[in-house]
């Protein structure tokens, strides 16, 4: 058990440059919330629902993080900061990172898989702050969900999702081979394919605006010449 705890703390240290030691990580609300959840989930699986909810309530008061006792969470889950909500039928894989103010929310069960109302988050996913992931959908392995994105449909493996409603950036997953991308959104770089596409689009817009300006000028000159001849 001690070895597992040390491995868990080390996995957080690899993803967060702030802590100077493992002891400091033990003060993180996300670590405490996960610890309480392990107890609550054990009680929930034993059908001790009231006790499970009581542990969940205490955890929420202390950490500002609400994880339903029924949620299934894998190894090395890093919940950075608080104010996050994870629903009852949510499933989270290994090495998942979630930043603050994220909701793994549910929808009407008649609209989805029976009994399954909340998302499934596969291994190595990163979810940026403020993201809302809603319904019985699947976020594929190594996907990144940008800050404040709203996701209501399945996300393929390795995709990066941004915006409201979230849309794929259409950037190939192999362009981002880093083991960890803070906040789930790659930083803009000159070699970023997405930035290159945006620059190309902007150049085309500039060219169209310049052409429109020339045509308007030529049209004005033609009208002036017609008035002079009249």
CA dihedral 137, 36, 182, 195 (to 10 degrees): 20
- Topology of domain 2-187 in CATH is UDP N-Acetylglucosamine Acyltransferase; domain 1 (2.160.10)
Residues sharing a CB contact under 8 Å with residue 217, sequence separation 6 or more, in sequence order = none
Question: Strand order in 167-168's β-sheet?
Answer: 78-79, 97-98, 126-127, 144-145, 160-162, 167-168
Structural tokens at position 128: 């940026």
Taking 3-state DSSP, the helix, strand and coil percentages for the chain, each rounded to the nearest 5, stand at 40, 15, 45
Residue 66 is predicted with a pLDDT of 96
Query: For 83, phi and psi rounded to 5 degrees?
Result: 60, 40
Determine the Cα–Cα distance for residues 117 and 188; give it in Å rounded to an integer: 35
Residue 190 is predicted with a pLDDT of 47
Residue 27 is predicted with a pLDDT of 94
Tell me the mean pLDDT per 10 residues along the chain, length 230.
90 91 93 96 96 97 96 96 93 96 80 76 96 94 94 92 73 56 56 66 84 85 76
Residue 13 is predicted with a pLDDT of 92
Domain ranges of the chain: 2-187, 189-230
């Amino acid at each position: 058990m001690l070895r597992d705890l040390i491995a868990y703390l080390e996995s957080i240290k690899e993803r967060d440059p702030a802590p100077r030691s493992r002891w400091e990580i033990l003060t993180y609300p996300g670590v405490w919330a996960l610890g309480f959840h392990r107890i609550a989930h054990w009680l929930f699986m034993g059908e001790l629902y009231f006790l499970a909810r009581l542990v969940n309530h205490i955890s929420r008061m202390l950490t500002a993080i609400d994880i339903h006792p029924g949620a299934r969470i894998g190894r090395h889950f890093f919940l950075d900061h608080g104010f996050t909500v994870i629903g009852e039928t949510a499933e989270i894989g290994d090495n998942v990172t979630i930043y603050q103010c994220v909701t793994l929310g549910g929808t009407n069960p008649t609209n989805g898989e029976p009994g399954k109302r909340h998302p499934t988050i596969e291994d190595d996913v990163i979810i940026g702050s403020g993201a809302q992931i809603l319904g019985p959908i699947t976020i594929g392995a190594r996907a990144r969900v940008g800050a404040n994105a709203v996701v209501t449909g399945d996300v393929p493996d390795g995709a990066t999702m941004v915006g409201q409603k979230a849309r794929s950036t259409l950037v190939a997953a192999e362009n981002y081979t880093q083991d960890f991308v803070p906040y789930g959104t790659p930083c803009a770089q000159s070699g970023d394919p997405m930035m290159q596409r945006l620059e190309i689009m902007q150049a085309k817009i500039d060219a169209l605006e310049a052409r429109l300006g020339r045509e308007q000028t030529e049209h004005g000159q033609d009208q002036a010449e017609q008035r002079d001849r009249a």
